[in-house]
Amino acid sequence: MGEINSIKNRTYRKYLESIGCNFARQKGSHVIYKKKGCRRPIIFQHKGDIPILHIFTNLKTLGITKEEFLEDIKKIR
């Protein structure tokens, strides 16, 4: 986890869309994305930076490794 501490909300949304996730809805302060073939939705708060721990939890849901994520996020930034 040492490379980054948090990610801008906009960057994380771009990343999710780049891997095939689609915006499903927003409820209160949370944004919900879905991906075909994924059992659970990807949920995060829509304001402010997203803590890296929340992102890594969502990566488990998506079946993506931390290394793959860090490599992909560098391309998006």
Higher pLDDT among residues 31 and 6, named by residue:
31
Answer for the pair 26, 13: CB distance below 8 angstroms, yes or no: no
The pair of structure tokens assigned to 26 is 């927003």
Instruction: Give the residue from 26, 17, 27 showing the smallest Cα distance to 62.
Output: 17
User: How crowded is the C-beta side of 36, counted as CA atoms within 13 Å?
Assistant: 2
**pLDDT the model gives residue 2:** 58
**Mean pLDDT for the chain?**
91
Domains, in order of start, for the chain: 6-76 (3.30.920.30)
pTM summary value: 0.88
pLDDT tens track for 31-51:
999 999 999 999 999 889 999
Confidence of residue 18 (pLDDT cuts 50, 70, 90): very high
In this model, does residue 1 exceed pLDDT 60? no
